[in-house]
Chains A and B, each alone.
Chain A
Amino acid sequence: MQTLGDFKLPQFFNYPPYFTLQPVRDTRDKQIQLWKELILDYCRTQKIFVIGLEEEFPLFANPAIERSLSHEAREAFLSALVSEGRAEWLDKGHKKCLLLWHRIQDWADIILNFVRENGLEDGVTTIEEMRSGIESRGTELHGIDRTILMRALKLLENKGKLAIFKGTSTDDEGVKFSV
């Protein structure tokens, strides 16, 4: 079985029509469904948050059968994810796409778990700490995309679970929890 790094690819990755955007509606719907799942699977295991449409992306090409996705096809598959709320375009030109393999609400729950596990219910931390600190190592928060983290924190802030404040010494922002 073919792999991409440590990601195990499904058999149909070698099916050439998989890489051509199908014109017939029913067939295309099935094809898009399979691409959506594969993209989310791959990004989740590889902790990929942003796909640049104009950059090389390993999943969008299969050198073994010499096939790769056209720009139109990439945009079609990512747009399908966007319309389902599993991704967002970061710009109007649809050049960068933010993948939400966890929805923002799920990310918020992950943050709350992290807070409880580390006894931070009334504590203070910084955003950079959460992304790359020792405590977050080994959790899903480690290496999280800053945009997504901020969005999840804002969601919690609106619920009164925390307050975000601007630090005095650094550019970094601080978080005061009150769970």
Chain B
Amino acid sequence: MAAAPHNFFPPASLTTSGRPVLLPGEVECQLLSGVDLESEDNASGSNSSGSYDFSPLKSGVLILTTHRLLWLSSDSSNTTAIAIALGSITHIFSAKKSIKAMFHSPRFRFQVSVNSKSAVVTVVVRGKGDWEAFFAKLWESWRARAWETSDTVSKESGGSASSSSSSGGLYSSDGSVRMVGVAGILRKEQEMWENTDKSLQDAFQDLNALMSKAKEMMTLAEKMRQKLLSGSNSQTSSGNDDEMGSKEMQDWLLSVGIISPVTKESAGALYHQQLSRQLADFVRVPLERAGGMINLIDIYCLFNRARGTELISPEDLLQACSLWEKFDVPVMLRKFDSGVMVIQNKAHSDEEVFARIKALVTKPDAFTSGISASDAAMTLGIAPAMAKEHLLSAESKGLLCRDISPDGFRFYVNFFSEIDPSNLYLVKDHSLYSVWIKATAAS
């Protein structure tokens, strides 16, 4: 807390790409840009009743979730992010009063109690967002008291909670539930499945129910994943089968859902920006698994599958990816000469891939019969289309050359430059050419 730039509100933790880390079960509802948070001015007189005067927060994005209000600075050099638990809001003032000031930016106020200090916060909306809808949603969320129904965060209604042990969110676990052994996992799984089954049956009752259940199911999946995660952490020494089983299950669940997808409805004008950040967080895991580079199409499928109901269009995805240039995120969009687009880690290096390709084509059988894109895909553990891109760029670097025949399209190690045009029969010792001659003679 000492390092926190703000001394009244607890800081909110952010992902590397600047998206807030959500608590278990927390869902984003609405965003509002160009927002200042100010302490109630003295003129209103409420200060005399012991209201705490905090330093104002200027120009940021206000995010309403089912559990909290998050304020994130829009200034890239300033990473201030604070969280106000909805549970700590003691009163939301009716908005009417501030509309009177026609020529001011719209504003609304609420009273909040943090660490037994009370303050009246004025939200000044300088952006063009639909603040009235935001205000209505705030009321709704405040009264819904979602934070109380969530079992894992029941103790966190106080304002100081968000900085406590729980790091929450998609990628970490609080470790509160420990599962031991595969039997435990299986039993838990069984229970979960029974619940899921019920949810499924309910879900199909009608379309509205389906929509509301979908979110529930994603929450369910996320919870289960968290539990499995903490389960497998606590028994790393056990057999491979367990790990495989739970890992598979985890993967499976991970692919089920993003709990709180950024939607046009919730994010409005900030849609692409927020989507972009969420996407950057999301791609980390599949990217790692794919070896640092993944096809845009694959991500499109994975991402939409994870979002469940709030599907995005390919254009939205592309736009979200192209916005990465503006943010400090560890991933980037790359376009190959052929037009194929991929997402790759910034740290990903072609040299490393080339080294692996070179090792691959100089194996004895690859020497004599070359490699196809699917051979490379298998060895490198990547998609064939991706492998082909790598092979083509290795070819353009002069590492490989191609052979097109009725048998297909294959790549060979390139030793054209080792042959002396003025003496076609000369074979230099220790050249790739000489190794190739030996390999072909042996086969």
Contact = CB atoms under 8 A, between A and B. Distances in A.
Contacts of B402: 17, 20, 22-23
A15 B368 CA distance: 8
B419 interface: yes
Nearest to A38: B424
A11 B416 contact: no
29 contacts: A8-B425, A11-B425, A11-B427, A11-B437, A12-B424, A16-B405, A16-B410, A16-B412, A17-B370, A17-B401, A17-B416, A20-B402, A23-B402, A24-B395, A24-B401, A27-B395, A27-B416, A30-B416, A30-B419, A31-B401, A31-B416, A34-B419, A34-B424, A36-B421, A66-B405, A66-B406, A66-B407, A67-B403, A67-B405
A5 interface: no
Contacts of B403: 16-17, 19-20, 67
Interface in B386-443: 395-396, 398, 401-407, 410, 412, 414-417, 419, 421-422, 424-425, 427, 433, 436-437, 440
Interface of A: 8, 10-12, 14-17, 19-20, 22-24, 26-27, 30-31, 33-34, 36-38, 41, 66-67
A22 B424 contact: no
A34 B395 CA distance: 19
B416 A10 contact: no
B442 to A, nearest CB: 13
A15 to B, nearest CB: 7
Contacts of B436: 15
Given A11-B427, A16-B410, A67-B405, A27 B421 contact: no
A14 B440 contact: yes
Among B412, B414, B424, B436, max chain A CB count under 10 A is at B424
B405 A37 contact: no
A12 B417 contact: no
A66 B403 CA distance: 12
Contacts of A66: 405-407
A18 B354 CA distance: 22
Contacts of B395: 23-24, 27
Contacts of A41: 424
Contacts of A23: 395, 402
Contacts of B437: 11
Interface of B: 370, 395-396, 398, 401-407, 410, 412, 414-417, 419, 421-422, 424-425, 427, 433, 436-437, 440
Given A16-B412, A66-B405, A24 B396 contact: yes
Closest 4 CB pairs of A and B: A30-B416, A16-B403, A17-B401, A10-B424
A34 B416 contact: yes
Contacts of A14: 440
Contacts of B405: 16, 19-20, 66-67
Given A20-B402, A20-B404, A22-B402, A37 B421 contact: yes
Contacts of B401: 17, 20, 22, 24, 27, 31
Contacts of A20: 401-405
B427 to A, nearest CB: 6
B426 to A, nearest CB: 9
B398 to A, nearest CB: 6
Given A30-B416, A34-B424, 7 more contacts: A10-B425, A16-B370, A17-B401, A17-B412, A19-B405, A20-B402, A23-B395
A62 B372 CA distance: 21
A179 B336 CA distance: 67
Taking each of A10, A17, A31, which has the highest tally of chain B beta carbons within 10 Å of its own beta carbon? Answer: A17
Contacts of A67: 403, 405
Contacts of A33: 421
A62 B73 CA distance: 69
Contacts of B404: 20
A11 B395 CA distance: 22
Nearest to A30: B416
A12 B419 contact: yes
Nearest to A10: B424
A38 B423 CA distance: 10
B416 to A, nearest CB: 4
Contacts of A34: 416, 419, 421, 424
B417 A30 contact: yes
Contacts of A26: 398, 417
A20 B401 CA distance: 9
B404 to A, nearest CB: 5
A118 B286 CA distance: 84
Nearest to A16: B403
A84 to B, nearest CB: 12
Given A16-B410, A17-B414, A66-B405, A27 B398 contact: yes
A22 B416 CA distance: 11
A26 B415 CA distance: 12
A14 B412 CA distance: 12
A19 B416 CA distance: 12
Contacts of A24: 395-396, 398, 401
A42 B436 CA distance: 24
Contacts of A17: 370, 401-403, 412, 414, 416
A87 to B, nearest CB: 16
Contacts of A11: 425, 427, 433, 437
